[in-house]
Amino acid sequence: MRYVMKFGGTSIGDGTKIKQVGELVRSYYDQGNEIAVVVSAMSGLTDELQTIAERLTSEYAEVTEVSEFVHLVGKRHFDATYAAIEDEMIVTEVISEIETRLEELKNALTGIYHLGELTDRSYDYVSSFGERLSSPILSGALKSLKVQSVFLMGGEAGIITDTKHRGARPTEITERRVHERLVPLLQVGVVPVITGFIAYNIHNIITTLGRGGSDYTASIIGSAIDADEIWIWTDVDGIMTADPKLVSNARTLPQVSYSEAMEISYFGAKVIHPKTIEPAVIKGIPVRVKNTFNPSGASTTIVDTVTNDQSLVKAVTAISNVALITLSGAGMAGTIGVAAHVFSKLASAGVNIIMISQGSSEANISVLVEEEHLSSALNALHGLKSEFDGNIVKEISCNEDVSAIAVVGSRMAGTPGIVGRIFSRMGSINVNVIMISQGSTEHNVSFVLRRDSVRRAVESLHEEFSLSEPQ
């Protein structure tokens, strides 16, 4: 069998864990399988890299912060190397690789400090160091366990994207290039360890696929090398009926369809990046989500058609980092082109719209956007009041104190009563629903509420649909 196995940040959080991951990979390798490994940054590091990069543009930053930061990052990776790898020669090689990377990181951060500027391109470059530091350690751990291995950056493995930094998309040549670069390695028993999340554009400049994008890297590679299966190894037992951090009796879903997985991840289940599904669907490759710390425990398989499952509602998910923008004005009713104008302005500002609603009076339009896009969204909409005759769009307001919840399940389609149960339940626990949306596929019902009500709303819906019991 040919597998892609992706390990997330918590799975490789320290040297002991990296060693365990190495042993896990070896156990499948020893059974004669071909394995391409995709690895994330050690837990929390991408956040830290992005925070320091932003911080260094501030006039209050001190240049000493650069060396302090690089020292701490270095210590974490050196410690991990000593704990994960036994063979001393391999340790020396890996340490020297890490030292080179740290020097590059230091130069980049010093440059940002002096210029006081952070372009999207340098943001991606700095963000890439987490994966570029973890991949040599895991590859070294494999070699130390007598598994032949090389480490590669996403771009070296053949992932070539457009130039849209902080959320780049692979271009057409990726499929063939990844195949040409990786299949010959797999065929001679080498396990390539590829950095998740990062790629090259056509000029070999580092781009990133967006936060959480290592899952996407795994499926891009899985599709290109015609993998039999793509395994996402994480820190929980697969995709669950709700985030186990919000609902203590959340249960693993043994099977979900591609479309359910897409809806669950799109509406906030961080466990798998929404774009992961797309390349897998095209080739019909099953995706499994498994727990690195409980490899023989429950897991989820994402497939085309789910068998033996009667459940109407599969999962309740929540996204918190969102903001609601409302445009209103009595003259909006019946004025053709307002909605089109709003959406095209937001699109050209690169704002991702999560939900839209327009009341039947047409006197207002609300859009839910990611919080990080809020200021670009407001800037883009700024001119709108003056573009139409003054009476049309009168007010643009925003609310950041909101979250969105989605109730997901493909068998909900055509089943009456679900929507009623969701909102009467919200009424009974006194949760005020700010906005509602249901896609025409009816695979999810989503709504916006105040952020501080999220936990009790999710818990209560989980209970309403008895999701902790096998359906």
Work out what residue 240 binds among ligand ADP, Mg ion, ligand ASP, none; the CB cut-off runs from 5 to 8 Å by kind. Answer: ligand ADP
The two structure tokens encoding residue 273: 């990046």
- Contacting residue, 211, 283, 385, 450, with ligand ASP by CB under 6 A: 211
Q: How far is the CB of 273 from ligand ADP (least distance, A)?
A: 8
**Segment contacting ligand ASP by CB under 6 A, of 89-97, 209-217, 225-233, 311-319:** 209-217
The answer to whether 292 touches 234, Cβ cutoff 8 Å, is: yes
The answer to whether 35 touches 28, Cβ cutoff 8 Å, is: yes
According to DSSP, residue 468 is labeled: T
Q: Which is nearer to ligand ADP, 9 or 222 (CB)?
A: 9
**Segment contacting ligand ASP by CB under 6 A, of 111-119, 159-167, 207-215, 278-286:** 207-215
List residues binding ligand ADP (CB under 6 A). 8-11, 40, 212, 234-236, 239-240, 242-245, 269-271, 315, 317
Q: How far is the CB of 194 from Mg ion (least distance, A)?
A: 16
Q: How far is the CB of 62 from ligand ADP (least distance, A)?
A: 31
The answer to whether 291 touches 235, Cβ cutoff 8 Å, is: yes
According to DSSP, residue 128 is labeled: T
Residue of minimal CB distance from Mg ion? 212
Considering only residues 123 through 162, tell me which ones interact with Mg ion, judged by CB under 5 A.
Answer: none
DSSP string for 144-209: HTT--EEEE-TTTTT-EE-S-TTS--B-THHHHHHHHHHHHHHHTT-EEEEESSEEEETTS-EEE-
Q: Does the protein bind Mg ion through residue 13 (CB under 5 A)?
A: no
Work out what residue 5 binds among ligand ADP, Mg ion, ligand ASP, none; the CB cut-off runs from 5 to 8 Å by kind. Answer: none
Cα 43 to Cα 40: distance, rounded to the nearest angstrom: 8
Work out what residue 41 binds among ligand ADP, Mg ion, ligand ASP, none; the CB cut-off runs from 5 to 8 Å by kind. Answer: ligand ASP
Q: Which is nearer to ligand ASP, 87 or 235 (CB)?
A: 235
Q: How far is the CB of 29 from ligand ASP (least distance, A)?
A: 23
The two structure tokens encoding residue 452: 């501080």
Q: Does the protein bind ligand ASP through residue 214 (CB under 6 A)?
A: yes
Q: How far is the CB of 119 from Mg ion (least distance, A)?
A: 25
CB-side neighbour CA atoms (13 Å) of 133: 36
- Contacting residue, 167, 212, 274, 279, with Mg ion by CB under 5 A: 212
Strand partners, 449: 403, 433
User: Alpha carbon of 360 to those of 286, 334, 357, 363, 393: distances in Å?
Assistant: 42, 10, 10, 8, 16
Q: How far is the CB of 23 from ligand ADP (least distance, A)?
A: 18
45-55 and 88-115 are packed helices; what angle lies between their axes, rounded to 10 degrees? Answer: 30
Binding residues (CB under 6 A) for ligand ASP: these are: 8-9, 40-41, 46, 130, 196-197, 211-214
